[in-house]
Structure 1
Amino acid sequence: MSAFGTSKTAVRRTRGRTEGQCPTENGSIRQHDNHTNMSDITLRKEDMERMKAELIQNVQSRLNELLERALSDSMQSLYRNTHTHPDHTHTHDRHKLDQGKVFVARCSLLDELFEISHIRTIYHMFIAALLLFIISTLAVDYIDQGRLVLDLDLFYYAFGQLGTVVWAWTLMFSYTLLGPYHVLSAWASLNHGRGWRTCVSAVAALTLCAAQTSMLGIFPVFVVLHYQLPAASRFIIILEQIRFVMKSYSFIRETTAAVLRNTPQKGEPLRYPSLSSYLYFLFCPTLIYREVYPRNTHIRWNYVGKNFLKILASLFYLYFILVRLCIPVFRNKSNQPFSTRTFILALFHAAFPGMLILMLGFYAFLHCWLNAFAEMLRFADRMFYKDWWNSTSFANYYRTWNIVVHDWLYYYGYRDFLWLTGHKLRSVATLSVFAVSALVHEYAFTLGFGFFYPVMFCTFAGIGVVFNFAMNDKRKSPVWNIIMWTCLFIGQGVHVCLYCVEWYAQIQCPRTGTSFWELVTPRSWTCYQ
């Protein structure tokens, strides 16, 4: 049994014993006769408190043993991985390219937490809220229009032109699978030969850069702008573009380092990754390429089906949030002049739906979507996130919110930057990672919504950087967790508020020119109707 399984069993047994040994005060009083004196009651209470303290101490010691065992097993696994290969003999190097993320078989945190009845009840409360949204929408439609049919026109509009999305995605995927793989394969075989290595490397690098720029840079933007795709279809194309860029970069980075490091002896064949391992990597839920990952023994198809149903339910949840909490408010706000009063009122209207959208995005994508694909591919490492909701600092929140993207930014951004600078300028490395993340987020939102409004860039590159250094890991008090959640509510409210106001301003006051300043100036600043 694994350490995590043992810890769950221990917690269940402990909880069962605790629930059986902790009756309520009224129950304990009813168990005694009315003639029991106060001294006996005091003695019994002292015995219960002593038993409670011993039980807590035993549980803590047991959990500490399990944690130490898990850490010991992980360190031994890491030690074997780093000492069983001849590549790891140069220990004097500060930073070796072959050192990276170690994948370990483990479950997602929410799957562990949902086995606890108290946490499962909170999950049920969100389902009840979804049912309430459906009932209220049906009631309003029946009162206003005399019908009991849900109007899903917003879905049909947002996911329009799916045929264009399918063929564009197919072209991007085909190139990502075959282009970098065959270019690197030809470079590796030619680089293995004698002479002209510099010329071969230069030609391969230029060819790869041109192909990447054309197929994963210009082509998706052309499809989005030329066919004027609606919002959801735009986001599918742009987010897949970003994913393919990150996946292909990881493959190029890891494969190039392996080829340069492992020069075969004369007469030995060149060792190059198989196409099947690269194909598996393009679909598995990680952005760090490895030829082999820990795999489960079987696929739980009922688990896959439940996760896809939850994704569909999350989409409906998002639909009702927009229809009931956002569209009625901001459609009216769009007719009012943009002022401080308008902004403050709209901000507080948007704080709650903004936070719901954040949690829905986290649950639908980082938990359900990634776990569904991990289960279908028997991918065993399910740590796609950590307990970011318990964070008392924004530095910890950024590290634990999205482990998949964080790993890519850490190993290929932050750590490689430190390696290039000789492990100096750590603050500059951190700022560079924030800058890249802010630019990519702003790029996705600009092309996804179809207008330039650098709210995401300012919050990431400005406020996010300040909070990362101000609310650092030294903040341990629970008060800081409250502050973090308050800031998240305000930040999500700002995002939803400004983007919704700008969306309707673009509709109310369409652009009349194509000058640079008109394209980059938000219409909500000048639209007065």
Structure 2
Amino acid sequence: MAATERRGHERSASAEFNRVDRAVQIQNATERLRSEMLNYVTNRFEEFTSEIKKAAKMPLINEIVQQPVVLPSELASISKVTNEKISQTIASQQSIDIKRSSSAFPTKSFRMRSSILTELLEVSHIRSIRQIFISILVLLVLQVAMTDLFETGSVDFRFDVIRWNFSNLSTCLRLWFILFTLTCTVVYYCFHFWAYKRLSLIPIVSSLSPDTEAPKKKTTSLMIFDGFWLTAYCLYIGVFLYFPVHFILEENYPIVTRMIVLVEQVRFLMKSHAFVRENAPNAILYGKIYSQQIKVEDVEDKVNDSPKEETNGIIPHTPCPEFSKFLYFLFAPTLIYRDSYPRTSSVRWNFVISHLIQFAATNLFAYYLFYRFCLPVFRHFNSEHVTVKIFVLSILNCTLPGALLLFCAFYGFLHCWLNAFAEMLRFADRQFYSDWWTATSWSSYYRTWNIVVHDWLYTYVYRDCHKLLGVKYRLVSMYAVIFLSACVHEYIISLTFGYFYPILFVQFAVLGFISMLILPQRTQNYAFNVFIWASLFVGLGMQMCLYSIEWYARQNCPRYV
């Protein structure tokens, strides 16, 4: 037994020695191979360098040290020239950096993406918040019904205000169709005529001799032609602004139908300007290519090297796009014109019907909020009731309803309405808003609350003002955006209610801009987010209170001329 164990130990020991011996042999072979490869590479490198030295006939190092390459006088002149070149290079680089900082604006890129709420509502915890609002709507309807049942013995869901607001819906739709027809015919076909007609006024470079005066005459005619159509475009904007307003005031439209006409009027104007602003540079560039003033290769190099602003990185193949592209743009839920957009493969009609039903329910919710919390408070408001105590309490009482109306406007229009139209048109980019509820500054709130309008203001107002005024007047360009947005909001509100009461304008263009300058632009302090929410609630309460007081004061108080 002992002998067997001894033989087993001897076999295992010999196997271990053999394994170690093989490992040592492999290591030695590897070291020999590495040393041989290093020697071979070193020898080949020395032979290569010696051949290069012989071919170049390089002098010895002693000769290089003894003989100066450059005389002291030549060295001084070279140093002077070098310093001048370096300073010129630095100055040119600084100017290039300034130009890039003033001209390199990010452009709107469309890609397939869903709205944030669409993704968040996939989570059951977030979806329960929507169910809470639905239950509040049901309770409001039951409250109105039970109150009528106990007081009058019958149920009245109080649709009288809705019937009054939509009493002339057919006239409103006819006016909308007129605005739509004017936009389709006047804007597109006039632009089409201008883009193609100006080609005949551009002198062809290859067919002209330097002695003829035809180039000067054609250039003058082209300038007059372009100036005439620019003036006609400005006149069209004025006429398009005047006649719908004259019509709704002449016919005495109710509040809701007035707002529908005014919002659609502004939307058509923004769409028209986007179409003209995007395609006018393309038409001018196409004319230069057509007249052989520039070559297609130069345009391709410029498109590849420069920021893609004027042509969006696309060389125009026609001076004016097809009417079908313009027609799709008029209904697409975006205000930035492109010849094509990312599209989905099919239409989910269940998705469309669901969002349209939610849009109608949101409007009904907003109506009952207004009817329950606004009308009873301000319906009998007149000059005898106006005291500081009642005024302050009215603002505080309107804070919560105003916040709920804000949520209704956001969810109903920016989410449900735009997503429904995007689905019907297979429009794939659904980023109509961002996470504005996490904003810690007014600038981030303005950028993320309504991305559709913000993109238009940034692309066609801020960038153009920035190019015209320069980097020094960046603050002026920023205020131009805020001022224009405040003016358009006040224009819609004033004509909707029939009186000028610039509460929204002061909050937007004055207080909002001052807050943007005072508050930090980028911070992660959640106290600023609380401040934004509190400011929104108080501001909405003030708007709801003051506009309602003014409306019913004009209804109840005697008029003095």
Give the TM-score, by structure 2 length: 0.73
* 1:237 is aligned to 2:258: no
How far does the alpha carbon of each residue in 1:50-79 deviate from its partner, in whole angstroms, 9 at most, with x for none? xxxxxxxxxxxxxxxxxxxxxxxxxxxxxx
Distance 2:281 2:120 in 1: 39
On the 8 A contact 1:300/1:375 being kept in 2, the answer is yes
Structure 1 92/420 Cα, relative in aligned 2: closer, same or farther at 3 Å?
Answer: closer
Distance 2:439 2:317 in 1: 50
How far does the alpha carbon of each residue in 1:325-371 deviate from its partner, in whole angstroms, 9 at most, with x for none? 11111124446442322210110111010011111001111001110
On the 8 A contact 1:293/1:379 being kept in 2, the answer is yes
1:223-234 equivalence runs, <5 A: 223-234=247-258
Distance 1:386 1:98 in 2: 20
1:383-402 equivalence runs, <5 A: 383-402=431-450
Q: 1:173 aligns with which of 180, 191, 213?
A: 180
In structure 2, the residue matched to 1:254 is 278
* 1:370 is aligned to 2:418: yes
Q: 1:424 aligns with which of 452, 472, 477?
A: 472
Distance 1:409 1:510 in 2: 42
In structure 2, the residue matched to 1:207 is 232
Structure 1 residue 425: Cα displacement: 1.0
Q: 2:222 aligns with which of 197, 206, 215?
A: 197
Distance 2:427 2:247 in 1: 33
How far does the alpha carbon of each residue in 1:365-414 deviate from its partner, in whole angstroms, 9 at most, with x for none? 10011101100000000000000011111111111000000001111111
Q: 2:243 aligns with which of 219, 227, 245?
A: 219
* 1:466 is aligned to 2:514: yes
On the 8 A contact 1:441/1:456 being kept in 2, the answer is yes
Distance 2:362 2:558 in 1: 32
In structure 2, the residue matched to 1:150 is 157
Structure 1 512/333 Cα, relative in aligned 2: closer, same or farther at 3 Å?
Answer: closer
Structure 1 residue 95: Cα displacement: 6.2
Structure 1 residue 93: Cα displacement: 6.4
Q: Structure 1: which 5+ residue stretches go unaligned?
A: 1-90, 514-529
On the 8 A contact 2:355/2:417 being kept in 1, the answer is yes
Structure 1 residue 203: Cα displacement: 1.8
Structure 1 residue 265: Cα displacement: 3.2
Distance 2:337 2:262 in 1: 21
Structure 1 206/266 Cα, relative in aligned 2: closer, same or farther at 3 Å?
Answer: closer
Instruction: Select the structure of larger CA radius of gyration.
Output: 2
* 1:115 is aligned to 2:163: no
Structure 1 366/469 Cα, relative in aligned 2: closer, same or farther at 3 Å?
Answer: same
In structure 2, the residue matched to 1:456 is 504
Q: 2:142 aligns with which of 123, 130, 135?
A: 135
How far does the alpha carbon of each residue in 1:4-54 deviate from its partner, in whole angstroms, 9 at most, with x for none? xxxxxxxxxxxxxxxxxxxxxxxxxxxxxxxxxxxxxxxxxxxxxxxxxxx
* 1:265 is aligned to 2:290: yes
Distance 1:176 1:510 in 2: 43
Distance 2:531 2:459 in 1: 30
Structure 1 residue 98: Cα displacement: 10
Structure 1 92/331 Cα, relative in aligned 2: closer, same or farther at 3 Å?
Answer: closer
How far does the alpha carbon of each residue in 1:272-329 deviate from its partner, in whole angstroms, 9 at most, with x for none? 2000000000000000111101111100011000111011101110111011111111
On the 8 A contact 1:251/1:289 being kept in 2, the answer is yes
In structure 1, the residue matched to 2:92 is none
Distance 1:116 1:151 in 2: 36
The alignment partner of 2:479 has SS state of helix
> What one-letter code is carried by the residue in structure 2 that aligns with 1:199?
I
Structure 1 123/443 Cα, relative in aligned 2: closer, same or farther at 3 Å?
Answer: same
Q: 1:103 aligns with which of 105, 110, 114?
A: 110
Distance 2:252 2:233 in 1: 29
On the 8 A contact 1:333/1:342 being kept in 2, the answer is no
Distance 1:495 1:164 in 2: 30
Distance 2:479 2:429 in 1: 29
Distance 2:138 2:107 in 1: 45
On the 8 A contact 1:311/1:368 being kept in 2, the answer is yes
On the 8 A contact 1:418/1:426 being kept in 2, the answer is yes
Percent identity between the two aligned chains: 39
On the 8 A contact 2:347/2:423 being kept in 1, the answer is yes
Higher mean C-alpha displacement, 196-205 vs 247-256: 196-205
Structure 1 residue 422: Cα displacement: 2.4
On the 8 A contact 2:195/2:319 being kept in 1, the answer is no
In structure 2, the residue matched to 1:30 is none
On the 8 A contact 1:183/1:208 being kept in 2, the answer is no
On the 8 A contact 1:392/1:478 being kept in 2, the answer is yes
Q: CA RMSD in A?
A: 1.9
In structure 2, the residue matched to 1:350 is 398
Query: How many residue pairs were aligned?
Result: 422
> What one-letter code is carried by the residue in structure 2 that aligns with 1:107?
S
Q: Structure 2: which 5+ residue stretches go unaligned?
A: 1-97, 203-217, 293-315
Structure 1 227/512 Cα, relative in aligned 2: closer, same or farther at 3 Å?
Answer: farther
Structure 1 residue 474: Cα displacement: 3.0
Distance 1:155 1:393 in 2: 37
On the 8 A contact 1:392/1:477 being kept in 2, the answer is yes
In structure 1, the residue matched to 2:360 is 312
Distance 2:336 2:262 in 1: 20
Structure 1 510/357 Cα, relative in aligned 2: closer, same or farther at 3 Å?
Answer: farther
